[in-house]
Amino acid sequence: MSVFTPFPLPPRPTIPALSVNIREHGAQPGGEVLNTAAIAAAIDSCSLRGGGRVVVPPGLWLTGAIHLCNHVELHVEEGAELRFSQDPAHYLPVVYQQRGGIRCFNYSPFIYARRCHDIAVTGSGILNGQGATWWPWKHAQPGMVHLFAANRERLPVEQRVYGTPEHGVRPPFLQAIGCRDVLVEGVTFLNSPSWTLHPVGCENVTVRGVTIKNPPEAHNTDGIDPDGCRNVLVEHCHVDTGDDAICLKSGREPDAWDAGSPCENVVVRHCHVLAGHGGFVIGSETAAGVRNVLVHDCTFDGTDIGVRIKTRAGRGAFIRNVQVDNVSMRRIQKEAVLVTLRYGGEALDGAVGELKDVPDVRDILLRGLRCDHAGTAVRLAGLPGHPLRSIRFESVVIHAGEGLVQEDVEGLVLKDTTFEAS
């Protein structure tokens, strides 16, 4: 059984040979002077000449929000650290973005692009979000409560405006929204304010050789979250974070139903995950659907859950054609594999009790998985009248305290698969 449908891998962005050093536009190293205007001037200079590479040379450089343009590559050289200001005012004015699966206007993402094409962030340097200033907002975010209500009530996006400490809505570290031909390669991201790499509604996205480190106490600091994107490659990345590591999403209802942009044609390979809530994850925001996914040759070491597919009644849409091959897992705290329609990490608004808009989850193949220890080997949880369908395990060996736990599942196949006591 093979459920994955091959597709062409995304092309590399087209970046002209022009190179502009941020020093040429007045940037000053040392971490004392705010270089937002100098970096913007370097990007504008590149853009006016048809695009090129904006170079951040070795040294410590303080900045606020950075906005990319067509055919522009931000290149952070080895020995360079872009340190992002801890002053929220340096991420104003507000910009159009997506937060938690919902469109709104909020503080600018630290690195941002909207409706751009051929853009890149590359190099061997460090991007330090200094997110500790933002993390406490997790416990004081009335703006997020308002945002969820605004989505349910279909309040126009123009009226969903935040961008104050009182609202407490944190921006992501990097967000490209509605872009095409996007590359993030080689750089290290530290201490994100919330989700780290968050392409939304993009086509042709490559994340390669990136390192992401966020501490366990950093709430909602997902690593790599392609959201409603098409044609995505994530490879050779190292993720150690305070939430889900590599996570596919497609927005939150009804915003995502209106956008109608599934996350599809995704390859994740040769990635290493430490800590985090899940190694490879789908959900929970899946309201526009997720399909055609291949994950292979990855290692998850010390995550809460290994392979995690989570959604819930009320989302609607589908998750299908997902193939996970040759994944090695160690020291998994909870489930090695979890597929659930009963995700309980947020308010249910009565949807589960009434079983409305239940996602259709089917055609999942897990093959060649190995796990030396997990709390539970596999947990599969559909809903009454809405089972998980066509889930197949082949050549899987999981050592766990508990074996297979299943409820409301149809078409489960276990071939050459063992769940052994650990």
What are 133-150's pLDDT values in tens digits? 999 999 999 999 999 999
Nearest to 176 by CA among 69, 331, 60: 69
Q: 421 falls in which pLDDT band (50, 70, 90)? A: confident
| Mean pLDDT value of segment 234-242 | 97
- On whether the CB atoms of residues 51 and 79 are closer than 8 A, the answer is no
- Does the annotation count 243 as an active-site position? yes
Tell the burial category of 401 from Cβ atoms under 10 Å away from its Cβ (0-12, 13-18, 19+): exposed
The pLDDT value given to residue 346: 59
Taking the C-alpha atoms of residue 343 and residue 333, their distance in angstroms, rounded to an integer, is 18
The pLDDT value given to residue 76: 98
Q: Bridge partners of 325?
A: 296, 367
Question: What value does the mean pLDDT of the chain take?
Answer: 95
Catalytic residue among 167, 219, 277, 399, which? 277
Taking the C-alpha atoms of residue 290 and residue 14, their distance in angstroms, rounded to an integer, is 28
Tell the burial category of 332 from Cβ atoms under 10 Å away from its Cβ (0-12, 13-18, 19+): buried
The conformation of residue 140, written as its DSSP 8-state character, comes to S
Percent of the chain with pLDDT over 90: 94
Write down the pTM of the prediction: 0.96
| Mean pLDDT value of segment 149-161 | 97
| Mean pLDDT value of segment 265-287 | 96
The pLDDT value given to residue 7: 75
Say how many C-beta atoms besides its own lie within 10 A of residue 323's C-beta.
Answer: 20
Is the pLDDT at 289 greater than 80? The verdict is: yes
Residue with tokens 């999403």: 249
What are 194-210's pLDDT values in tens digits? 999 999 999 999 999 99
Is the pLDDT at 1 greater than 90? The verdict is: no
Q: 420 falls in which pLDDT band (50, 70, 90)? A: confident
Q: 348 falls in which pLDDT band (50, 70, 90)? A: very low
Catalytic residue among 222, 243, 244, 325, which? 243
- Does the annotation count 255 as an active-site position? no
In the CATH scheme, what is the code of domain 28-421?
2.160.20.10
> Two tokens at 304?
């809460």
What are 224-237's pLDDT values in tens digits? 999 999 999 999 99
What are 28-83's pLDDT values in tens digits? 999 999 999 999 999 999 999 999 999 999 999 999 999 999 999 999 999 999 99
Taking the C-alpha atoms of residue 410 and residue 389, their distance in angstroms, rounded to an integer, is 5
> Two tokens at 55?
């170079």
Q: Please state the φ and ψ torsions of residue 48, each to the nearest 5 degrees.
A: -65, -25
Q: 3 falls in which pLDDT band (50, 70, 90)? A: low
Taking the C-alpha atoms of residue 327 and residue 325, their distance in angstroms, rounded to an integer, is 6
Q: Give, for 205, the enclosing helix (H) or strand (E).
A: strand 203-208
